[in-house]
Amino acid sequence: MRAWLGHRVEGLPVAAIAALGIALAVYPLVATLPFWRHVVIMSMLYGAMGVAWNILGGLAGQVSFGHALYFGVGAYAAAYCYKVLGLAPLVSIPIALAVSCVAAVLVGLPTFRLRGHYFVLASVFIMEGIHIVVSNWDRFGAAIGLEYPVYKAKGFADALWHGQFQDKLPYYYLAFLLLGLALVVFRAIQRSPFGMFLVAIREEQDAAQSLGVNVARCKLYALVASAAITTLCGTFYAQYVLYVEPSSTMSLVISLEICFIAILGGIGTLWGPVLGAFVIVPVTELLRAYLSGRIALDMSALADGGIAAWLEYYARGGGGNLDILAYGLMIMLIARFQPAGVLGFLRRID
Amino acid sequence: MSGAEPLLRIEALEVVYGDFQVLWGVSLQVRAGEVVCLLGPNGAGKSTIMNATTALVPRHAGRVSFRGEDLAGIPTHGLVARGLAHVLERRRLFPTLTVRQNLLLGGFNPAARAHRSESLVWVESVLPFLVERKDQLAGTLSGGEQQMVAIARGLMARPSLLMIDEPFLGLSPRVIDEILAIVERINRQGVAVLFTEQNVQLALSISKRGYLLESGRILLEGSGREMLEHETVRKVYLGL
């Protein structure tokens, strides 16, 4: 038993993983304020997406700036199925996964023929294209999006069936499960021959090919696996906020947040994205809560005042986007001082 | 037609990069169990012949067949299961994987998978240093060791023909001797070898036959002795 607890999973002893898992499971029972639960729910959600992104971006080395597409597919499928078709999440999830699978294949087949930076560009263009289409498609609420009809559940089972809870606690544990699922899938892939093929493709694509690795197929499978988990996160998100709109589900900002979490946490590693999410998401959520909600001054009044007035405006706590500014600063600091990610920083201390 | 069908037969191969034609009607063949070298200066098209054979670059014209099968339309990843292994120029190991993982990746194609553990034992008996270094990251090996791992990784596919692109590039004389010995050992096990090299004397010391390539055309072909005694080779390549 003791030997087993000391066994390390990518540098982290099983005992420590268990302790962290238990701490995370007990946390919402201690932190009863909805906001503090929300912060960790979002951290776990983004952690799961970072881990999913890492299958394609970290193992196979195919950097996608378009993962919000799959997040959006999940969110929109859940919202549309519930609001328009009257389908419960249990039914809409397989539909969402099927749509996302088809989307991943349609994106992957042409773009994986491209090498290097071109795949990155293609992933952005496809996502932005679909973002524009959805923003103008009345069936999906166009730019306004889809709002869930709020359902008053009769008991827990009923709430679960409708995927709507009054309390944040069930959402918390669902996000917890999502993160666990993402980690298990990543680890399983990482340890399998398939995972080794992906690393081989990342490091020397031609050599992998001449050793018999079907490069196009492996990349496609990696994308489908990655997209499927991201889509699950999207359906969760829709059921959680009960409102989907294009810019908060399918935009470049979301795509970048997903991949920054993986890259800044530690690309290609199991724990990196989780660590990245638990550093970046709480900081941005806190900044958003404490800074961006403050007095929104009329920016036009500042036009005459010049830079001094602008600085004073920010110093007084105004400014709608200070959280994004801080986010950028954090990214610059990590990139400057620890290019291997937050995980690399901890390793150095170790 | 006399004799058995050659292992590899390349006929009138032409390769074009954009507007620039690299190979002009190259024909060559490798028979089972032979060691054949492709000679020629930098830019003559030696690597291109290999890369076009394994479909890493598209063939513009010509026909390539392996064990009598036309390779048209067969993708790169489908060749190794047919017994054609290609060790790329500059070794191309997977640097963050261990030596053992690099080797195993050579044995995952459908034909070799079933014998993977036997292949590993065989390859490690041909190149014993692989066992000592099995847990070392491939990127941390010396150039010569990396070349040996690259050759061993190619052997993991149990090929009947091993193509090695520039096996001696950038290696010290002592390591070159080691690689030469390894190639001979591999060949004694019945594996045909086709390799590229610029040093004529070195290449012909282990080859049964050779082809001399210049500006994308085969200039000469013959047995090792014929080549070494040929006037052009003596004048241009040996400076005699």
Q: What is the model's pLDDT at position B162? A: 97
Q: Print pLDDT tens along chain A (350 aa).
A: 667 788 888 888 899 999 999 999 999 999 989 999 999 999 999 999 999 999 999 999 999 999 999 999 999 999 999 999 999 999 999 999 999 999 999 999 999 988 778 888 899 999 999 999 999 999 999 889 999 998 888 889 999 999 999 899 999 999 999 999 999 999 999 999 999 999 999 999 999 999 999 999 999 999 999 999 999 999 999 999 999 999 999 999 899 999 989 988 888 999 999 999 998 899 888 877 776 544 444 455 555 566 666 555 555 555 456 667 777 887 788 777 776 777 766 665 55
Residue-number span of the structural domain to which A94 is assigned? 31-349
Q: What is the pLDDT of residues B61-83, one digit of tens each?
A: 999 999 999 999 999 999 999 99
CATH code assigned at A250:
1.10.3470
Q: Is the confidence at residue B159, as pLDDT, over 70?
A: yes
Partner residue opposite B105 with nearest CB, options A196, A206, A215: A196
Q: How far apart are the CA of A68 and the nearest CA of chain B, in angstroms? A: 30
The ipTM is: 0.92
Chain B residues within 8 A (CB-CB) of chain A? 54, 56, 75-81, 85-86, 88, 92-97, 101, 104-106, 108-110, 112, 153-154, 157
A321 belongs to a structural domain: yes
Q: What is the model's pLDDT at position A298? A: 47
A19 belongs to a structural domain: no
In sequence order, the 6+-apart residues with CB closer than 8 A to the CB of A337 are A345
**Mutation target vs A (from B92, B101, B149, B163; most A CBs, 10 A cutoff):** B92
A210 belongs to a structural domain: yes
Tell me, yes or no, if A210 comes closer than 8 A to chain B by beta carbon: yes
- Cβ contact B95–A215 (<8 Å): no
Average the pLDDT over B17-29 and give the result: 95
Of all residues in chain A, the one with the smallest CA distance to B138 is A203
Partner residue opposite B86 with nearest CB, options A200, A210, A214: A210
Average the pLDDT over B167-171 and give the result: 93
- A290 secondary structure, DSSP code: I
Distance CA A28, CA A248 (A): 25
Q: What is the model's pLDDT at position A297? A: 45
A286 belongs to a structural domain: yes
Indicate the SS3 state at residue B84.
Answer: strand
Distance CA B103, CA A195 (A): 15
Tell me, yes or no, if A207 comes closer than 8 A to chain B by beta carbon: yes
A164 belongs to a structural domain: yes
A2 belongs to a structural domain: no
Q: Is the confidence at residue B228, as pLDDT, over 70?
A: yes
Domains contained in chain A, number? 1
A107 belongs to a structural domain: yes
Distance CA A20, CA A336 (A): 29
Distance CA A316, CA A302 (A): 13
**Mutation target vs B (from A211, A219, A267; most B CBs, 10 A cutoff):** A211
Tell me, yes or no, if A214 comes closer than 8 A to chain B by beta carbon: yes
Q: Is the confidence at residue B1, as pLDDT, over 50?
A: no
Indicate the SS3 state at residue A93.
Answer: helix
- Cβ contact A213–B105 (<8 Å): yes
Q: Which helix (H) or strand (E) holds B27?
A: strand B20-30
A21 belongs to a structural domain: no
Average the pLDDT over B212-219 and give the result: 94
Quick one: what percent of chain B has pLDDT higher than 70? Answer: 99
